[in-house]
Amino acid sequence: MTNFISRAEAEELCDGMIQQFIGGTAVIPESVDIDSFVRFFLKCTVIYESIVEEDKDRIGFTGDGKRPLRIIKGGKQKEIIYPKNTIVLDKYLLNPGEENHRRFVLGHEAGHIIANRINPDSPACFHHFTDRTRTECKKQKNTL
């Protein structure tokens, strides 16, 4: 059985996490340092690699200790299994002019970490930016 939370519940949960992250001030800031939030609050490792999946839309990945990611390392393609709480972003997001895109993708992957902590039995899904009608889900238990 898959449980879903409403948008309002998700916003309340995220507001609570941000409150804890910033030290409990009454007003939530307009922007948050997503890098620090991911590394220090969610306690995730962030790695930059050259991702070479068949699907070119995959520029971010959340490790689960089971599913491999295809990257180029040392000039050779390799499939690497990253441990849970590891976020892998494509190196191209470090290029000048990609800062907002990098922050967005990092926040998106952090959302996968949070969603899985809420419901560890939910399937891992990939939503494609270039084709919003396309969704792929893995039926296996996804334990991040």
Write out the H or E segment, with its range, that includes residue 88. strand 86-90
Write out the H or E segment, with its range, that includes residue 18. helix 7-22
Q: Are 67 and 87 in contact (CB under 8 A)?
A: no
Q: Is 28 helix (H, G, I), strand (E, B) or coil?
A: coil
The pLDDT tens digits along the chain (144 residues) read 556 678 888 888 888 898 899 887 667 778 889 999 999 999 999 999 999 988 888 899 999 888 899 999 999 999 999 999 999 999 999 999 999 999 999 999 999 899 888 877 765 555 455 544 544 555 434 333
Domain boundaries, the chain: 35-137
What whole-number distance in Å separates Cα of residue 115 and Cα of residue 119? 6
